Structure 1
Amino acid sequence: MAAAVWNRHPKYAILVVVAILTTVYLLVPYSGPVNTARYDIVTRGADLVSRIQQSHDIYDRLLKNRKGLIKKFGPNPADIALFPPDVAPWPPYTVWDFFPAAFNCPHEIERHGALGDGGKWVCGLSRVQDKPDCIVYSFGINLESSFEAEILKYTKHCQIWGYDFSVKSFGPEIPSNQLHRTHFHAYGLGGEDKHGPNDSPPMYTLETLMRENGHTHIDLLKIDIEGWEFDTLTTLIKPYATSGLPLPFGQLQLEIHIWDKTFAQYLTWWETLEAAGLRPFWTEPNLVYQNYNKKKGTADLAEYSFLNVKGSNVFISDKHYGKESGHPHQPPARD
């Protein structure tokens, strides 16, 4: 009976065969090369401009609120404790409450790397997933490279330069087939160059390393240098603040170690970052450190992620998005 139907209506038989083959094709798992791209929707154009402007408006309100909070608990910065003591009147704040991550990232936000210590929050990795000249610098490896491994996994062309004088290589998280996209040196990041034959460990400024590597712009800059971030970033920012040029990186992932600082010192340093165009879009306390710092009892470490809102980097502008050209922000000469 069925054979007779096929004989009388061969075109139906062909349609059935095509339908079966199509179904099998769709249901069988694809075993070809894995596409690392994971971001199908990318913010751009007028929508990007309007989102950034809205974020500026929100952050401006935050700046006014900070002044009000300082006046309330100060009234001068020198009068404010980083962490108020457990005595009356128990003022309800810590230093971190004055510096919330109030700038909204205009793209997707995702944590890359391990949960717990090691991962970092990134704004808009989609903007560099196909960027041919994507550059990443990572200072402070400590044999834990889950962050760097994920950046390599979810981008096609990003090259990563890693620096840490306490170890000899990236951590084991980076697969062997991606090592050709990494470059490691046992150097430290500092506020001045000290890498002569008698200097141990060798210390380099960011400007010197960029010049030696032939770079004028960094897309993602990760810094975890155990308290040296204050002098290092102050020195780095100074010539750019003087010249008015944008900082030579699009985004900064930074662990802040507030040891031995006063509120007034920290406020001055933080306002230097803001004046240079850095806006925090994410923060979290380092609770791993806090768990092992119970005797002191203060939350001295915090992770911050900043967006550079000056210039035309790929996270805030379409000027370079999808193009192979680099960014023309040559670091200015130091005084």
Structure 2
Amino acid sequence: MAPAWQRNPRYIVFILVALATTFYLLAPADVDAPLRPSFYPDSDLPNRVARSDRIYNKLLLDRKDLIKKFGPTPNDVALFPPNKDPWPAYTVWDFFPAAYNCPHEVQRLGALGDGGKWVCGITRVETKPDCIVYSFGINYESSFEAEILANTEHCQIWGYDFSVNAFGPQIPRAQAPRTHFRPYGLAGADKHGPDDNPKMYTLESLMKMNGHTHIDILKVDIERWEFETLTTLIKPYIASNKPLPFGQLQLEIHIWNLSFAEYLTWWETLETAGLRPFWTEPNLVYQNYNRDGTSDLAEYSFLNIKGDNIFIKDPTRRLPSDGEYGRHAPGPTP
């Protein structure tokens, strides 16, 4: 009797396909291959953003239930209950978790501990030609800014802090041309007359001074002035139904001398403007030094879900004119 493969040629085809599949699956992966997405990453970004929206919308309902449980109104909720009644115990941060899913990779840039920040999708601006970063609060600790420079090709960083006179030593000399420092402060109103020291500017004034209409990454650490400054900044955008002029925000929150109701109102202003927290961590260094049982400083990272910033929408490709076909592939519109 003839062998099976002679009687049925499909048999040998099946064997060859099975062997090829086995060799492919067993082949060692290239562990050194870079995981660097292109400037036009996954096409399902709108679906990921929509899923993140649904997850966060559930959180909004859960917060209302939690306020009723411990309130029943915001005025009845304590930031940090002084004893074990009510039980189970809670703190203010339990009402405001970072429940929004960043639709990209989340990476800590800068030093572990104080100084580093969590960023959503740094690869989205890796090759962005007009990448702009603003950093308020330097204090000679610039590891965050240094890693942004190391992870991007074109990002320009504007730093502001009236308590120091330069970026920290972490900025390499070779990257210094991409940094710009001024000893100014961030405030809700301009105060930069001849007798004003330090000089204070609103974010809009600084952006106009620098010729910018949009900021990709905004870092703010201004020792509790974030409440007045961000409220003043945000309200006109809410009133005009326009998106905020930045893609994401890294913010240290200093919840000193506030009531829960006041903090809730401020936080809901951020949410109304389109800011969604995707990462948080308490400032345990501060808590360790004070040892008073409260943790009233926390780091938050927010994504702006309104508008068309690079973190929530892919850039639009420009179709080439007839004369451009064959010369080069279409590229992004600047």
Q: Normalising to structure 2: TM-score of the pair?
A: 0.84
The residue identity in structure 2 corresponding to 1:297 is: G
SS in 2 for 1:292: helix
Question: What letter is aligned with 1:301?
Answer: L
Deviation at 1:320, TM superposition (A): 5.2
Q: Which residue does 1:309 correspond to in 2?
A: 305
Q: What do residues 123-176 of structure 1 show as CA deviations (whole Å, max 9, x unaligned)?
A: 000000000000000000000000000000010000000000000000000000
Question: What amino acid maps onto 1:315 in structure 2?
Answer: F
Structure 1: where are the runs of 5+ without partners? 1-36, 326-335
Distance 2:182 2:59 in 1: 40
| 1:291 aligned onto 2:288 | yes
Give the Cα separation in 2 of the matches to 1:120 and 1:38: 23
| Residue matched to 2:5 | none
Q: CA deviation at 1:323?
A: 3.2
| Aligned residue type for 2:235 | K
The letter for the 2-side match of 1:239 is P
Correspondence for 1:279 among 276, 279, 295: 276
1:324 Cα deviation (Å)?
5.3
Name 1:134's counterpart in structure 2: 131
| 1:205-244: CA deviation from partner (whole Å, max 9, x where unpaired) | 0000000000000000000000000000000001100111
The CA deviation string for residues 70-97 of structure 1, in whole angstroms up to 9 with x for no partner, is 0000000010100001243444210000
**Is the CA contact (8 Å cut-off) linking 1:131 and 1:324 kept in structure 2?**
no
2:85: which partner in 1? Answer: 88
Query: What's the % identity of the aligned pairs?
Result: 71
1:191 aligns with one of 179, 183, 188: 188
Q: Which amino acid aligns with 1:287?
A: L
In structure 1, what residue type is equivalent to 2:36? D
* Aligned mates of 1:138, 1:197 — CA distance in 2: 25
Residue 323 of structure 1 corresponds to which residue in structure 2?
332
CA distance 1:208–1:150, shift in 2 (3 Å): same
In structure 1, the partner of 2:61 is 64
Partner of 1:112 in structure 2?
A: 109
Counterpart selection for 1:230 from 223, 227, 230:
227
Question: How has the CA–CA distance of structure 1 residues 109 and 273 changed in structure 2, closer, same or farther, with 3 Å as cutoff?
Answer: same
Task: Give the distance between the partners of 1:91 and 1:276, measured in 2 at CA.
Answer: 32
Whole-angstrom CA distance in 2 between matches of 1:39 and 1:186 = 38
Distance 1:133 1:231 in 2: 30
1:209-220 to structure 2, matched below 5 A, reads 209-220=206-217
| Alpha-carbon distance between aligned partners in 1 of 2:72 and 2:105, rounded to the nearest angstrom | 38
Q: Structure 1 residues 139, 38: CA separation in 2 closer, same or farther (over 3 Å shift)?
A: farther
* Alpha-carbon distance between aligned partners in 2 of 1:150 and 1:101, rounded to the nearest angstrom: 23
Are the aligned partners of 1:313 and 1:320 in contact in 2 as well (CA < 8 Å)?
no
Greater RCO (Cα-Cα under 8 Å, separation 6 or more): 1
How far apart are the structure 1 equivalents of 2:85 and 2:135?
Answer: 43
| Equivalent position to 1:163, from 144, 160, 165 | 160
Contact 1:113–1:150 under 8 Å retained in 2: yes
Equivalent in 33, 37, 45 of residue 41 of structure 1: 37
Aligned equivalents of 1:49 and 1:226: distance in 2?
36
1:77 aligned partner, one-letter code: P
Q: Which amino acid aligns with 1:40?
A: R
Asked if the contact 2:70–2:86 (Cα under 8 Å) also holds between the matched residues in 1, the reply is no
Aligned equivalent of 2:95:
98
Q: TM-score normalized by structure 1?
A: 0.83
Structure 1 residue 288: Cα displacement: 1.0
Q: Equivalents in 2 of 1:285, 1:315: separation in Å?
A: 25
Q: Which runs of 5+ in 2 are unaligned?
A: 1-32, 318-330
